[in-house]
């Protein structure tokens, strides 16, 4: 039997799936779906993917295409009619989406390839199994950070951190630096680069922010902490494992604050394989 916490989240995600299947696309905002799941938008998209095996966008596309199955099953209806029933403006757009979701075409489904229908009725892959792992449950103090929000590609983060350092330490001594932090608002593996929001942040005590620098306040409290060692390119795999570990615990609920990362090492001080990053996932008060 699954631990109670995972059962609770499975029930929440089932409510979301039922809403997606029944609702108009205009009712499928991230905030609305996260609310149905009783999760913060900070965490909803990751929990959804871990529980279902597909991203929210993949689920919406699959359900949208599945609405065309009655028309495809009717030999008197055209593929163009099926495309319109699924909400696609052209048969070409429908065909591209259908192939992306199933690996085949609507004509092939009509010709008897029943596995294509099955792919529209359930995720193309099962949720990835994450091996159980021990995480630390720690109590943190509130963090006051100075930050710049980067909107855009992951590759731009180095330049944004450099701009943050230049602006802050043009006014304050470098010795004030107490830590380097980062907060993702989306998962760069599954989000268009132009839609990524990432807070580049540093801890410098109570120093005043220069122009163009924001104060970012992170609440203290209970967190699940995991240390990632190695390239930042694989950091999100460790974030997935941390979420999966917390979901497997019966006693802990994910909190409403965003996940954040403390970059322990200066990348120039040691090889990439030794870079240490502490990932903090907030927990609801016990």
- Domain of 207, CATH number, reads 3.20.80.10
Number of folded domains in the chain? 2
Q: Do the domain assignments include residue 57?
A: no
Kindly state whether residues 166 and 100 are assigned to the same domain. Answer: no
Q: Which of 123, 116, 99, 103 is nearest to 49 (CA)?
A: 123
Alpha carbon 219 to its chain's center = 21
- Any domain includes 129: no
Q: What pLDDT sits at residue 131?
A: 46
Contact between residue 9 and residue 51 where contact means Cβ atoms under 8 Å apart: yes
Domain contains 54: no
Residue 153: domain span: 136-282
pLDDT for residue 2: 47
How many Å apart are CA 67 and CA 194, to the nearest integer? 30
Within-domain flag for 203: yes
pLDDT, tens digit, 9 for 90 and up, residues 199-231: 999 999 999 999 999 999 999 999 999 999 999
164 and 82, same domain (yes or no):
no
Which two three-digit tokens encode residue 162? 């450099």
Q: Residues 155-170: pLDDT tens digits?
A: 899 999 999 999 999 9
Assess whether 141 and 105 both reside in one domain. Answer: no
pTM for this entry: 0.82
Helices (H), the chain: 4-22, 30-36, 41-52, 56-66, 69-73, 79-85, 91-102, 106-110, 114-121, 157-169, 235-247
Whether residue 254 sits in one domain with residue 175: yes
Q: Domain end: 71, 89, 121, which one? A: 121
pLDDT value of position 177? 96
Instruction: Tell me if 208 is assigned to some domain.
Output: yes
Same domain, 226 and 187: yes
Do 162 and 114 reside in the same domain of the chain?
no
Residue pLDDT, tens place only, 96-127: 888 888 888 888 888 877 777 777 876 655 55
Residues of the chain with pLDDT under 50: 1-2, 129, 131-132
What CA–CA distance (Å, rounded) separates 93 from 106? 12
Domain match, 114 and 247 both: no
Residues 225 and 184 in one domain: yes
The residue among 121, 147, 165 that closes a domain is: 121
Q: Is residue 6 included in any domain, yes or no?
A: no
148 in the same domain as 250: yes
Same domain, 92 and 224: no
Sheet holding 214-218, edge to edge: 136-140, 221-229, 276-282, 260-263, 179-184, 197-203, 143-151, 214-218
How far apart CA 91 and CA 30 sit, in angstroms, is 28
Task: State whether 162 and 264 are in the same domain.
Answer: yes
Instruction: Tell me, yes or no, whether 21 lies in a domain.
Output: no
Q: Is 148 found in the same domain as 111?
A: no
94 domain-assigned = yes
Report the largest interatomic distance among the alpha carbons of the chain, rounded to a whole angstrom.
76
């Amino acid at each position: 039997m699954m631990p109670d916490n995972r059962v609770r989240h499975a029930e929440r995600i089932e409510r979301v799936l039922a809403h997606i299947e029944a609702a108009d696309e205009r009712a499928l905002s991230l905030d609305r779906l996260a609310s149905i799941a009783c999760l913060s938008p900070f965490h909803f998209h990751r929990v959804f993917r871990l529980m279902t095996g597909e991203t929210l966008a993949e689920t919406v596309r699959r359900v949208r295409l599945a609405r065309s199955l009655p028309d495809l099953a009717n030999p008197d209806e055209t593929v163009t009619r099926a495309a319109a029933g699924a909400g696609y403006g052209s048969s070409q757009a429908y065909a591209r989406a259908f192939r992306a979701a199933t690996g085949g075409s609507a004509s092939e489904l009509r010709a008897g390839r029943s596995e294509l229908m099955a792919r529209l009725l359930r995720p193309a892959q099962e949720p990835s199994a994450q091996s159980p792992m021990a995480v630390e449950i720690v109590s943190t103090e509130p963090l006051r950070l100075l930050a710049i929000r980067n909107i855009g590609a992951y590759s731009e983060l180095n330049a944004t951190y450099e701009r943050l350092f230049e602006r802050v330490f043009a006014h304050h001594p470098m010795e004030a630096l107490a830590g380097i932090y980062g907060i993702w608002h989306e998962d760069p593996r599954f989000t268009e680069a132009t839609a990524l929001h990432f807070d580049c942040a540093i801890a410098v005590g109570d120093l005043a922010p220069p122009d163009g620098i924001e104060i970012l306040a992170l609440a203290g409290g209970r967190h699940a902490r995991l240390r990632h060692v190695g390239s930042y390119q694989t950091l999100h795999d460790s974030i997935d494992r941390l979420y999966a570990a917390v979901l497997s615990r019966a006693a802990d609920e994910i909190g409403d604050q965003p996940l954040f990362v403390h970059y322990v090492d200066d990348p120039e001080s040691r090889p990439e394989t030794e870079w240490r990053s502490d990932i903090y996932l907030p927990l609801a008060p016990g």
